Amino acid sequence: MHYPNPGDMMRRFPVKGFPFKGMKAFYQDFRLGIVGGGQLGRMLIQACPNYDVSTVVLDPSGVAPCHELASEFHQGSLTDYDTVYRFGKTVDMLTIEIENVNVAALYQLEKEGLPVYPQPRVIEIIQDKRVQKQFYRDNNIPTPDFVLVENRADILQHAAFLPAFNKLGKGGYDGGGVQALKSPEDIDKAFDAPGLLEKYIDFDREISVLAARNSKGEVAVFPAVECIFHPKHNLVDYLLSPSSASEEIQAKAEAIARRVLEKLEITGLLAVEMFITRSGEVLVNESAPRPHNSGHQTINANYTSQYEQHLRAILGLPLGSTAIKCPSAMVNVLGAEGCSGEVRYEGLEELLKIAGANLFLYGKKQTRPFRKMGHVTILDEDREKLIAKVEQVKKTIRAVV
Ligand SMILES: Nc1ncnc2c1ncn2[C@@H]1O[C@H](COP(=O)(O)OP(=O)(O)OP(=O)(O)O)[C@@H](O)[C@H]1O
Ligand SMILES: [Mg+2]
């Protein structure tokens, strides 16, 4: 029991229907701790007041996107044991919005009785791409072939494995710990740190399947979302929901996602990124145990948003319908190239005139090139019109200085 004050006990005793013995109900002044205060946390916070849940956020930045929205904001490191441990002692339940956190502190908090979801065990598996990949292999979850490597010299020994992707075990984010090694000449630039080499997959499409599992083991899977790549830059251009992959492939992908959740026995939301090969194989690239960039559109376009679903899952509540209300697309608003400093948005008025375009800004006052400043979710029943609107949105809004 982590509440030593007996005077508080009555309030904290179980309420019928709430699954955690010895805990107050989520609607009774319940403090949900969120480790990480970025845009994913910001949108998770926005789902909380409807459940009368108050939010307590930890982030190293005093101007983090959650700063002004959290019921209570703590500034501090996510990777420091004492900071995370002490933060955990102030809340009734802990969740994360980024996986690069101090897991030892989470284990200790869990041991002392604090519900921590996703479980520290799951975060630990996913935090290190080496462990994560091995987990897929051990559980017969299809994933591109890989070898573990300790350093650059080790990669030289595996030159025959190229072309491959070289991925850092820990610490990579938003593509920062990933690079393609096409031929042995590229090995000079390989990461000189523990990581892996993963076979280069000449994929037909890249999709993402979000799913949630609650503490009773119920699973709900969202329809697959597709990343549409820019034909010239080979960067993700926008996301489309639902994916245009065949029903058979989507069903395969959804079954694989379900399997990953069940094997992980995760409580919470999991985003499973996958490759669809040209021969119709579905391979898991990686997973994230939290709300994900590929699920923003669920706020407007699905019966239940990914954020509310995560909340339902960790609170042990029935999961919501994942069905799509309307086809949608999501375009990131990135800081314009060559612009650093206090942000100014161009084209806002024009953007807001586009029927079905929904603006989400992340509260970041400073822009820099390619920084994720916000996104736009676009809804349209008609796929062609939807894609035309995507092009219109991309031309309209700009984060400049
Ligand atoms: N084996 C592979 N074959 C082909 N492309 C790959 C491979 N691995 C990664 N990629 C490409 O690189 C992108 C980033 O890789 P990955 O998802 O592993 O890294 P990340 O740093 O976790 O990225 P993010 O945080 O953006 O999801 C993938 O979305 C995919 O487009
Ligand atoms: Mg990824």
Cα–Cα nearest to 378, from 399, 398, 401, 396: 396
Residues 248 and 209 in one domain: yes
Q: Compute the distance from residue 229 Cα to the ligand 1 centre, in Å.
A: 13
Ligand number with the minimum distance to the CA of 166: 1
Q: Compute the distance from residue 100 Cα to the ligand 1 centre, in Å.
A: 17
Choose one of 178, 191, 275 to mutate for the ligand 1 pocket test, by most ligand atoms within 8 angstroms of C-beta. 178
Q: Compute the distance from residue 178 Cα to the ligand 1 centre, in Å.
A: 7
Total structural domains within the chain = 3
> For the stretch 71-93, what's the b/e string if a residue is b when 16 or more beta carbons lie within 10 angstroms of its beta carbon?
eebbeeebeeeebbbebbeebbb
pLDDT at position 229: 85
- Non-local (6+) Cβ contacts of 123 within 8 A are 96, 99, 101, 103, 106, 289
Give the separation between CA 227 and CA 73, rounded to whole angstroms.
34
Work out which ligand 1 atom sits closest to the CA atom of 164: 1
Work out which ligand 1 atom sits closest to the CA atom of 202: 4
Residues 166 and 185 in one domain: yes
Residues 177 and 291 in one domain: no
131 within domain boundaries: no
121 within domain boundaries: no
Residues 280 and 372 in one domain: yes
Residues 160 and 309 in one domain: no
Q: Compute the distance from residue 175 Cα to the ligand 1 centre, in Å.
A: 6
Residues 251 and 368 in one domain: yes
Low-confidence residues of the chain, pLDDT below 50? 1-18
396 HSE (CA, 13 A, CB side):
20
Q: What is the 3-state secondary structure (H, E, C) of the chain?
A: CCCCCHHHHHHHCCCCCCCCCCCCCCCCCEEEEEECCCHHHHHHHHHCHHHCEEEEEEECCCCCCCCCCCCEEEECCCCCHHHHHHHHCCCCEEEECCCCCCHHHHHHHHHCCCCECCCHHHHHHHHCHHHHHHHHHHCCCCCCCEEEECCHHHHHHCHHHCCEEEEECCCCCCCCCEEEECCHHHHHHCCCCCEEEEECCCEEEEEEEEEEECCCCCEEECCCEEEEECCCCCCEEEEEECCCCCHHHHHHHHHHHHHHHHHHCCCEEEEEEEEEECCCCEEEEEEECCCCHHHCCHHHHECCCHHHHHHHHHCCCCCCCCCECCCEEEEEEEECCCCCEECEEECHHHHHCCCCEEEEECCCCEECCCCEEEEEEEECCCHHHHHHHHHHHHHHCEEEC
125 within domain boundaries: no
CATH, residue 210: 3.30.470.20
Q: Compute the distance from residue 367 Cα to the ligand 1 centre, in Å.
A: 24
Work out which ligand 1 atom sits closest to the CA atom of 236: 31
pLDDT at position 1: 34
Domain, as residue range, for 213: 205-400
Q: Compute the distance from residue 118 Cα to the ligand 2 centre, in Å.
A: 19
Residue 11 phi/psi, 5° resolution? -65, -30
Residues 279 and 344 in one domain: yes
Q: Of the residues 161, 178, 199, which one is the last residue of a structural domain?
A: 199
Q: Compute the distance from residue 255 Cα to the ligand 1 centre, in Å.
A: 21
**Residues enclosing ligand 1, CB less than 6 A?**
144, 165, 167, 172-178, 198-201, 206, 273, 285-286
128 within domain boundaries: no
Residues 261 and 281 in one domain: yes
Give the separation between CA 279 and CA 48, rounded to whole angstroms.
43
Atom 21 in ligand 1: which residue has the minimum CA distance? 175
123 within domain boundaries: no
Answer whether 199's CB lies under 8 Å from 220's CB.
Answer: no
57 within domain boundaries: yes
pLDDT at position 235: 73
Residues 109 and 228 in one domain: no
Work out which ligand 1 atom sits closest to the CA atom of 175: 21
Residues 176 and 286 in one domain: no
387 within domain boundaries: yes
List of long-range contacts for 394-397, beta carbons under 8 Å, 24+ apart: 394/237, 394/238, 394/331, 395/347, 396/347, 396/350, 396/351, 396/354, 397/333, 397/345, 397/346, 397/347, 397/348, 397/351, 397/359
Residues 47 and 79 in one domain: yes
Choose one of 285, 290, 371, 372 to mutate for the ligand 1 pocket test, by most ligand atoms within 8 angstroms of C-beta. 285
CATH, residue 160: 3.30.1490.20
Atom 4 in ligand 1: which residue has the minimum CA distance? 201
Work out which ligand 1 atom sits closest to the CA atom of 177: 21
Q: Compute the distance from residue 93 Cα to the ligand 2 centre, in Å.
A: 27
335 within domain boundaries: yes
Q: Compute the distance from residue 171 Cα to the ligand 2 centre, in Å.
A: 13
Cα–Cα nearest to 133, from 120, 149, 119: 149
Residues 276 and 219 in one domain: yes
Give the separation between CA 278 and CA 294, rounded to whole angstroms.
22
Atom 27 in ligand 1: which residue has the minimum CA distance? 174
Q: Of the residues 169, 184, 199, which one is the last residue of a structural domain?
A: 199
CATH, residue 90: 3.40.50.20
Work out which ligand 1 atom sits closest to the CA atom of 129: 18
Give the separation between CA 284 and CA 243, rounded to whole angstroms.
16
pLDDT at position 17: 44
Q: What is the dihedral of CA 135, 141, 145, 146, to 10 degrees?
A: -10
Atom 31 in ligand 1: which residue has the minimum CA distance? 206
Q: What is the pTM of this model?
A: 0.93
